[in-house]
Amino acid sequence: MKVVAFNGSPNKEGNTWNALKMVTTELEAAGIETEIVQVGNKAIRGCIACYQCVKNKNEQCALADEINEWVQKMKQADGIIIGSPVHYSAIGGTMKSFLDRAFFVTGVNDSMLRHKVGAAVVAVRRSGGLPTFNQLNNFLNYAEMLIPTSNYWNVIHGRTPGEVVQDLEGVQIMRVLGKNMAWLMKLVEHGKGTIPPPEREPKTMFSFIH
Ligand SMILES: Cc1cc2nc3c(=O)[nH]c(=O)nc-3n(C[C@H](O)[C@H](O)[C@H](O)COP(=O)(O)O)c2cc1C
């Protein structure tokens, strides 16, 4: 089994990376392969609402950049982690651009993330951790992913790169998340062929426009 983690920070080995590393260390210890992909330092523009992904259904975003390769990584993985620093009480801009586009493409292509395991982590200096965590979880929920929990919300505190290792409660939150994620992934794997998943319902769209 494999987990791909996306680092939404412009800092290569900053606090978000450290948080991801704490989770992936537990996954590795449980025998799950991991990879961390850095998103936040790339030039990723936002969705241009061209709807080509809806029309073509070819697993591609029309803005051909790294995102198409990352979508394939998501497709091949059994689990994903999305991590972001807090920027103005929200997801970092580059990460938000990536998530909007990648989740649109995966969603319209047979909901390719449905029933994979997905978790979110956040690094923050002081305030804005929870709104950012909620924003990240919106993507996982929309995609019908299976979300493991920890013993608190998955937010870790620090300012300068690496400072989060001093947040001992945050470190525990990430460690517990990693253990719970590994366990959930093994349960899902074990259930394959034994417990059938619920049938997929065709999406009902009701936009209050008649
Ligand atoms: C543009 C920008 C906006 C930020 N906004 C906030 C904020 O709203 N609240 C906060 O507590 N920290 C804020 N920070 C600090 C970062 O969230 C914090 O340093 C975090 O640990 C950085 O993670 P990283 O090392 O993975 O980039 C901001 C940092 C930047 C660069």
Smallest Cα–Cα separation from 80: which of 14, 32, 134? Answer: 32
pLDDT tens digit string along 2-61?
Answer: 999 999 999 999 999 999 999 999 999 999 999 999 999 999 999 999 999 999 999 999
pLDDT tens digit string along 97-126?
Answer: 999 999 999 999 999 999 999 999 999 999
Report the nearest atom of ligand 1 relative to the CA of 126.
11
- Helix (H, G, I), strand (E, B), or coil: what is residue 189? helix
CA of 79 to the centre of ligand 1 (A): 26
Asked if 39 and 70 touch (Cβ cutoff 8 Å), the reply is yes
pLDDT tens digit string along 125-142?
Answer: 999 999 999 999 999 999
Please state the separation of Cα 24 from the chain's center in Å. 13
The protein residue with its alpha carbon nearest to ligand 1, atom 1, reads 87
Using CB distances shorter than 6 Å, the residues near ligand 1 are 9, 11, 14-16, 85-89, 123-128, 158-159, 161
Quickly count helices (H) and strands (E) in the chain: 6, 6
| 91 pLDDT more than 90 | yes
Determine the pLDDT at residue 12: 94
Determine the pLDDT at residue 207: 83
Residue 41 CB neighbour total at 10 angstroms: 13
The protein residue with its alpha carbon nearest to ligand 1, atom 20, reads 124
pTM to 2 decimal places: 0.97
The domain limits of the chain are 2-191
Determine the pLDDT at residue 5: 98
Determine the pLDDT at residue 203: 87
Determine the pLDDT at residue 104: 98
| 209 pLDDT more than 80 | no
- Helix (H, G, I), strand (E, B), or coil: what is residue 31? coil
Report the nearest atom of ligand 1 relative to the CA of 157.
21
Mutate which of 9, 22, 82, 86 for ligand 1? The one with the most ligand atoms within 8 Å of its CB, which is 86
| Residue 208 CB burial class (10 angstroms; 0-12, 13-18, ≥19) | exposed
CA of 66 to the centre of ligand 1 (A): 24
Domain 2-191 sits in CATH 3.10.20.600? no
Determine the pLDDT at residue 206: 86
Crossing angle of the two packed helices 93-108 and 129-142, in degrees rounded to 10: 20
pLDDT tens digit string along 54-82?
Answer: 999 999 999 989 999 999 999 999 999 99
Determine the pLDDT at residue 195: 95
| 210 pLDDT more than 80 | no
| 92 pLDDT more than 70 | yes
Report the nearest atom of ligand 1 relative to the CA of 163.
21
Using alpha carbons, list the distances in angstroms from residue 115 to 79, 155, 173, 184, 192.
Answer: 9, 24, 23, 11, 11
Residue 120 parent element (H or E): strand 117-124
pLDDT tens digit string along 164-204?
Answer: 999 999 999 999 999 999 999 999 999 999 999 999 998 89
Q: Which of the four pLDDT bands, split at 50, 70 and 90, describes residue 205?
A: confident
